[in-house]
Amino acid sequence: MAVVETRTEGDVGILTVNRPEALNAVNDEVIDGLVEAVEAFDADERIGAMIITGGGEKAFIAGADIKAMSERSYMDMFMNSKMNELTRLTRVRKPIIAAVNGFALGGGCEIAMMCDLVIASEKAKFGQPEIRLGVIPGWGGTQRLTRAIGKAKAMDLVLTGRMMDAQEAERSGLVSRIVPPESLMETAIEAAQAIAGFGRPAVMVAKEAVNRAQETTLAEGLLFEQRLFYSLFATEDQKEGMAAFIEKRQPSFKNK
Ligand code: CO8
């Protein structure tokens, strides 16, 4: 059985990290599986949005595989480009939803933050416990978490290694919605299908514009947004979306 299983629900691509015996810890095989599948869905015209979730009952992803890392030297880590490859997840253009069903720790929390939307089950737990292992986060935990929830909370989590539950994660701005465990996938699929039903050009530039807010000044970001807004008037989907509103009917987007 593949460590990253893929399936589709209409125009939504679903990836399940499937190493429940290791709480879905990320080894090189998982990195290959995730990156390949996400890039394949990104390139697939039939797919409009993706979901990443964890297999089994307990975990989304409990971090990088500690057993695979424990004996590595500095040079192994420095020369091991495989671990760096994971950041390719942030370069795809279609939205990715993290459906967090349990532990999202260390690299697992960081993968959730590489996604565009985080929907959590009431049982989800988030944290950056690397300090307990004598290291620090390495896939963006100190940077994305600080931007997502602010310095006070990020420092607390990174320095104490404590976990936060779904409620605290939502209050802090890491999670966009919390749902009962049994409705997690249904909710994530519904959200992904809603996104996939909109015009792809608008969806893709919307993702780009929101992400730009993390990278740039307000003035530059506002200009970037305005230029993208104008650019959508070159699409057929804009004409269709506005005509459908005026004619009081559902739009039929052509992704053009
Ligand atoms: N790596 C490897 N195996 C793991 C991991 C992991 N991260 N997490 C859990 N497992 C394994 C356990 O070893 C155990 O295996 P076994 O049955 O063979 O002993 C199995 O999964 C079940 O786990 P537990 O028995 O520990 O389950 P509990 O319910 O008692 O505890 C916890 C669950 C609290 C989630 C606990 O497993 C835990 O603390 N796990 C480790 C969490 C952690 O520290 N994560 C951070 C890892 S470091 C990291 O992610 C850095 C990423 C940055 C890389 C940057 C590269 C550039």
pLDDT, tens only, 5-42: 999 999 999 999 999 999 999 999 999 999 999 999 99
Rounded to whole angstroms, how far apart are CA atoms 100 and 108?
Answer: 9
pLDDT average, residue stretch 173-195: 98
- Which of 134, 35, 135, 137 minimizes the C-alpha distance to 126? 137
In CATH terms, the fold of domain 199-247 is Lyase 2-enoyl-coa Hydratase; Chain  A, domain 2 (1.10.12)
**Does the Cβ of 30 fall within 6 Å of ligand 1?**
no
Rounded to whole angstroms, how far apart are CA atoms 192 and 49?
Answer: 6
Catalytic, 110? Answer yes
Q: Which two tokens stand for residue 14?
A: 């679903």
Q: How many Å lie between the centroid of ligand 1 and the Cα of residue 51?
A: 22
pLDDT (0 to 100) of residue 13: 98
Rounded to whole angstroms, how far apart are CA atoms 23 and 25?
Answer: 6
Most informative mutation of 3, 23, 143 for ligand 1 (most atoms within 8 A of CB)? 23
**Does the Cβ of 138 fall within 6 Å of ligand 1?**
yes
pLDDT average, residue stretch 183-209: 97
156 Cβ contact partners less than 8 Å away, ≥ 6 residues apart: 162
Average per-residue pLDDT for the chain: 97
Q: What is the pTM of this model?
A: 0.97
Atom nearest to 63 CA in ligand 1? 50
**Active-site annotation holder among 112, 130, 169, 202:** 130
pLDDT (0 to 100) of residue 140: 96
Q: With a cut of 0.90, is the ipTM above it?
A: yes
pLDDT average, residue stretch 44-62: 97
Q: How many Å lie between the centroid of ligand 1 and the Cα of residue 146?
A: 23
Q: Which two tokens stand for residue 44?
A: 């697939």
Position 74 pLDDT exceeds 80: yes
pLDDT (0 to 100) of residue 125: 98
Rounded to whole angstroms, how far apart are CA atoms 11 and 241?
Answer: 19
Contact 201, 241 (CB under 8 A): no
**Active-site annotation holder among 48, 54, 110, 140:** 110
Q: Which amino acid is at 61?
A: I
β-strand partners of 51: 14, 97
Q: Which amino acid is at 66?
A: I
Element containing residue 185 per DSSP (H, E): helix 184-197
CATH 3.90.226.10 is the classification of domain 4-196: yes
Contact 95, 207 (CB under 8 A): yes
Q: How confident is the model at residue 79 (pLDDT cuts 50, 70, 90)?
A: confident
pLDDT (0 to 100) of residue 1: 77
How do the domains of the chain map onto residue ranges? 4-196, 199-247
Q: How many Å lie between the centroid of ligand 1 and the Cα of residue 111?
A: 15
Ligand 1, atom 36, lies closest to the CA of 62
Q: How many Å lie between the centroid of ligand 1 and the Cα of residue 219?
A: 43
pLDDT average, residue stretch 46-66: 97
- Across 79-228, the runs of DSSP E, i.e. the strands, are 96-100, 103-105, 117-121, 125-127, 163-165, 177-179
Summarised one tens digit per residue, pLDDT across range 82-138 is: 899 999 999 999 999 999 999 999 999 999 999 999 999 999 999 999 999 999 999
